[in-house]
Structure 1
Amino acid sequence: MTALRLTSEQRAQIAALIGDVPSAPPAVAVALAEAVQERRGHDHPRYEDLFCSNLAGWLGERVPYLLRLLLDLSAEAEALRAAAEQPEPSPHQFVATPDIAPGSDCKSCGEHVFHPAHDYR
């Protein structure tokens, strides 16, 4: 299964379509899954299926909240991907001057480290 990757344009389009609804709590997602199972699993009569019609309406009323949850999770995943692509900053603080000797101590932690401004070849 591939991960869902909504573009920022797709997220904006969905958000505009569903309006200002809050995100669904996990219980709603579970209830929707149960309703899908009930709809799939019951005996479908040859005449009008009021049970399925009722469940379809119930599902439809809750889908915007589930879509908001999807948008929230998609935006969070995108932020995590972007953060993972950023290089991790060095915890050491240096003064970038030529008079720092190779192997100087970090100003913030005192650890003996090599200064990135020097070429140690």
Structure 2
Amino acid sequence: MTHSPTPTELLALKVANAALLTQDSSYDFAATIVFALGSAQLLQSPESAAELSRLRARVVEQTPGLETEQAALLAEMIGDVQPARVSVLLSLGEAVQDQRAHDHSSQNEDWYCTNLVAFMGERMAPVLRRLLNSEATAAQLSARVAELEALTPARYQTCRVCSAAYLYGNPCSNCEFQARMEAAQAARPAHSNLSHDLPEYPHA
């Protein structure tokens, strides 16, 4: 190991050791550990792990948002205005496209682009309100992610396999019991019909 064990790794080691102490004879060591980790919800698919890494990288690389004071100042500037609808955003994008495509050298005073700028300026307050709402939502989600990552799991969890309660960090006792019962049933020798096992009595 080149790093100190994480809390999750230490917890997985604890679960694995507990599983080996109560190992079922019908499973080998590897299967016992894997089933115990899955029951304790400590396994993660490669796809989920990769997606989580990408999301964390996006959070780190994203453009810094407005500070609290800046957001409050901007909200005061634009007043009580409703956020822009999608149709407004599309119309603004079209205005920007028209301005970029217009031949500015055809007129000494470019009234066409001036009108476009005025059109966009009149609709900027709702756009800024939408921006403020989006930034507030992003900040809330980031804070919630941080809370969840630092969260201490509840002492008792619900097993994903059998829905029984189990102590966090330990294999599901109900699943272990069921596995033992199935193993014992499978190992029990097959019996013939009960009537064949009973002694025969002479008929009167």
SS in 2 for 1:112: strand
Q: Secondary structure of the equivalent of 1:86? A: helix
> Quick one: which of 54, 62, 71 aligns to 2:132?
71
Question: Who is 2:9 aligned against?
Answer: none
Matched, 1:18 2:72: no
Q: Which has the higher helix share?
A: 2
Question: Contact (CA 8 Å) 2:89, 2:127: kept in 1 or not?
Answer: yes
Measure how far apart 1:31 and its partner are: 1.1
3-state DSSP of counterpart to 1:5: coil
Q: Which residue of the other structure, out of 157, 161, 165, is the alignment partner of 1:111?
A: 165
> Aligned with 2:95: secondary structure?
helix
What is the rounded CA distance, in whole Å, between the counterparts of 1:47 and 1:114 in structure 2? 75
**Corresponding residue number in structure 1 for 2:29:** none
> For 1:73 and 1:64, how far apart are their aligned partners in 2?
14
In structure 2, the gaps of 5 or more residues are: 1-60, 158-162, 170-204
- In structure 2, the CA distance between the partners of 1:41 and 1:89, relative to structure 1 (3 Å rule), is same
Residue matched to 2:178: none
Q: Secondary structure at the residue paired with 2:121?
A: helix
Matched, 1:29 2:89: yes
Unaligned runs of 5+ in 1: 95-108, 116-121
Percent identity between matched residues is 36
1 CA distance for matches of 2:111 and 2:129? Answer: 28
Query: What does residue 55 of structure 1 align with?
Result: 116
User: Normalising to structure 1: TM-score of the pair?
Assistant: 0.73
Match in the other structure for 2:153: 90
Query: Deviation at 1:46?
Result: 3.3
Amino acid at match of 1:35: A
- TM-score of the aligned structures, taking structure 2 as reference length: 0.45
Structure number with higher relative contact order (C-alpha < 8 Å, ≥ 6 residues apart): 2
Tell me, in whole angstroms, the C-alpha distance in 1 between the residues paired with 2:95 and 2:167: 60
How many aligned residue pairs are there?
A: 101
How far did residue 4 of structure 1 move?
Answer: 4.2
Are 1:41 and 2:105 counterparts? Answer: no
Shift of 1:2: 3.7
Cα 1:114–1:41, aligned 2, differ >3 Å: closer, same or farther? closer
Q: What amino acid sits opposite 2:167 in the alignment?
A: V
